[in-house]
C-alpha cells in the first residue's frame, strides 16, 4: 500500500508541475510585457513589434520608424527677367538659383548650371522671370524657330536694328567677315565752305553788268568770272582781283580744295549675315533634297557616295553686301553717309572685345600739329623722273 501511494503521489506532483509551467508560460506571453528571463526590463528587442493592450482589443503593430532622407540643392540657371521669344541671351538676362535635387527637370538633365553655356543662344519660347531655362527652350539654329517665324530678325538684339551695307574687297576687310564678328566703321569726308544763302560751294560765279550797254539795249553782261579777292600785285604795284580759272567742267569753276577728315564713327556693330540673305528653310530643303539624291544614287550604284557637307555660314565667296546690327541712331548716321557718297571702310575687331575707343578726327593739319607728320622743307635736289610720271602698284581686280 505504501509503494502504490508513493507512486501516485509522484504522478500527481509531475502533473501539477506541468500545469504550473504551462500557466506561467502563457501568463508571461500574453499579460506581462517588458519582463525577460534575465531580469532586464529595458524593453523589447529592437527588431520586434510592441503590442499594447487597448480598450476593446489589441492595437495594430507599429513599424519601427526610419530616418528621413536629407534634401540636397543644386544650382541652375534661371531668367533674371521676362525673356521674349527670339531673344539672344546675355549675361544680364541670366541668374543662378538653387533647386532641390528632387526637381524633375534637374533629374532629367534639362537644366544648365553655368550662364556661359547659354550666352549667345536664342530662345524659342517666352520665359518668365525666375523660371529655370531648360534645354528644350533653346533654339539650335534659326531653322529651329520656324514655328515662331524663322527670319534674320531673330538675330537682332532688342533695341537694335539691322541694316545692309555694300562692301568690296577693300572696304569689306578682304571678305574675311563671318556672322558673329564685331566691326567698327571708319569714314572719310571732304569738307568745303558753302555760301550761306545758296548753300553751294564757294567761290561764287558772277557776271558783271555793263550799265551803258544795258541802257542802250545791247548785251550787257560781261563774261562770267569767279568771285575772287583784291590783292596788291607787287611786281606791278597795282591792286588786282585774284580768282580761279573758269572752264566747261563744273568742277573747274571753283578753286576751293576740300579738306579731308577721317573719323571712327560707329563702334561694335555686329555682323549677322554676309552676302544676300537666303531663307534657312529653303536652304534646309535643298540640303535634304541633295541628301535624298545622294542616297538614291548610292542605292543604284556600288560606288560609295560621300556625305553632303553641312550648310556653310556664308554662301558667297565674294559677297557684295553685309548685314550689320546697331542702335537706330548709328543706323541713321550710316544711311546718311552712304547717300552722301562718303568713303566708308569696316575694321574687324577681336572676338568679344568690349573696348570703346576714344579717338580724335584725323586730318593733315591735325597730323602736323600733333607731330605725327613733318612737312619737308623745300630742297635744291630732286629725283628724275618725276613722281607724276610713275605708275604706282595696284591690286588686280578680283575675278567676277
When pLDDT is cut at 50, 70 and 90, the band that residue 40 belongs to is very low
Among 12-16, 146-150, 171-175, the least confident range: 146-150
Report which of 344, 281, 271 is spatially closest to residue 314, judged by C-alpha positions. 271
For residue 263, the model assigns a pLDDT of: 95
**Model pLDDT for residues 208-236, shown as the tens digit of each residue:** 888 888 888 888 888 877 777 888 888 88
For residue 173, the model assigns a pLDDT of: 93
Q: Give dist(CA 35, CA 29) in Å, integer.
A: 10
Which whole-number Å values give the CA distances from 75 to 70, 95, 108, 123, in the listed order? 17, 10, 15, 20
Report which of 150, 134, 19, 163 is spatially closest to residue 86, judged by C-alpha positions. 150
What DSSP string runs through 170-192? TTTGGGT--TT-EEEEEEEEEE-
Report which of 277, 269, 333 is spatially closest to residue 153, judged by C-alpha positions. 277
Nearby residues of 155 by Cβ (< 8 Å), 6 or more positions away: 88, 122, 142, 162, 179, 272, 273, 325
Segment (H or E) for 166: strand 160-166
φ, ψ for residue 118, nearest 5 deg = -110, -20
For residue 46, the model assigns a pLDDT of: 47
C-beta atoms surrounding 226 within 10 Å: 18
For residue 324, the model assigns a pLDDT of: 95
Region of 311 on the Ramachandran plot (φ > 0 left; ψ -120 to 50 alpha; else beta): beta
Cell of 245: 580759272
Decide if 171 contacts 337 (C-beta within 8 A): no
Burial of 63 by CB count in 10 Å (0-12 exposed, 13-18 middle, 19+ buried)? exposed
Q: Give dist(CA 352, CA 350) in Å, integer.
A: 6
Ordered structural domains, the chain, with CATH: 73-148 (3.90.1210.10), 160-192+259-356 (no CATH), 205-253 (no CATH)
SS3 229: strand
Average pLDDT over residues 319-334: 95
φ, ψ for residue 146, nearest 5 deg = -60, -35
For residue 248, the model assigns a pLDDT of: 47
Amino acid at each position: 500500500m505504501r509503494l502504490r501511494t508513493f507512486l501516485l503521489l509522484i504522478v500527481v506532483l509531475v502533473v501539477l508541475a506541468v500545469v504550473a509551467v504551462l500557466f506561467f508560460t502563457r501568463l508571461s506571453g500574453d499579460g506581462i510585457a517588458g519582463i525577460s528571463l534575465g531580469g532586464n526590463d529595458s524593453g523589447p528587442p529592437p527588431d520586434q513589434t510592441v503590442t499594447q493592450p487597448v480598450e476593446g482589443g489589441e492595437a495594430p503593430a507599429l513599424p519601427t520608424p526610419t530616418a528621413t532622407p536629407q534634401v540636397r540643392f543644386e544650382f541652375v540657371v534661371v531668367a533674371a527677367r521676362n525673356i521674349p521669344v527670339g531673344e539672344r541671351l546675355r549675361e544680364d538676362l541670366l541668374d543662378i538659383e538653387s533647386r532641390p535635387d528632387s526637381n524633375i527637370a534637374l533629374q532629367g538633365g534639362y537644366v544648365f548650371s553655368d550662364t556661359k553655356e547659354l550666352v549667345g543662344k536664342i530662345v524659342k519660347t517666352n520665359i518668365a522671370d525666375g523660371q529655370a531655362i531648360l534645354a528644350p527652350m533653346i533654339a539650335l539654329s534659326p531653322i529651329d524657330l520656324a514655328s515662331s517665324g524663322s527670319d534674320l530678325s531673330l538675330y537682332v538684339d532688342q533695341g537694335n536694328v539691322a541694316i545692309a551695307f555694300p562692301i568690296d574687297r577693300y572696304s569689306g576687310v578682304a571678305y574675311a567677315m563671318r556672322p558673329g564678328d564685331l566691326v567698327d566703321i571708319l569714314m572719310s569726308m571732304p569738307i568745303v565752305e558753302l555760301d550761306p544763302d545758296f548753300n553751294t560751294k564757294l567761290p561764287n560765279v558772277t557776271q558783271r553788268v555793263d550799265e551803258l550797254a544795258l541802257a542802250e539795249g545791247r548785251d550787257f553782261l560781261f563774261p562770267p568770272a569767279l568771285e575772287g579777292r583784291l590783292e596788291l600785285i607787287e611786281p606791278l604795284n597795282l591792286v588786282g582781283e585774284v580768282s580761279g580759272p573758269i572752264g566747261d567742267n563744273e568742277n573747274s569753276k571753283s578753286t576751293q580744295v576740300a579738306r579731308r577728315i577721317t573719323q571712327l564713327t560707329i563702334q561694335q556693330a555686329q555682323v549677322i549675315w554676309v552676302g544676300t540673305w537666303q531663307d534657312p528653310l529653303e536652304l534646309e530643303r535643298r540640303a535634304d533634297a541633295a541628301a535624298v539624291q545622294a542616297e538614291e544614287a548610292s542605292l543604284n550604284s556600288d560606288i560609295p557616295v560621300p556625305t553632303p557637307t553641312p550648310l556653310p555660314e556664308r554662301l558667297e565667296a565674294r559677297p557684295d553686301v553685309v548685314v550689320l546690327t546697331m542702335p537706330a541712331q548709328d543706323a541713321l548716321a550710316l544711311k546718311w553717309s552712304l547717300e552722301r557718297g562718303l568713303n566708308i571702310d569696316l575694321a574687324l575687331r577681336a572676338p568679344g572685345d568690349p573696348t570703346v575707343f576714344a579717338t580724335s578726327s584725323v586730318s593733315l593739319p591735325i597730323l602736323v600739329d600733333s607731330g605725327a607728320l613733318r612737312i619737308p622743307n623745300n630742297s635744291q635736289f630732286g629725283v628724275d623722273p618725276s613722281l607724276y610720271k610713275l605708275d604706282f602698284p595696284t591690286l588686280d581686280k578680283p575675278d567676277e
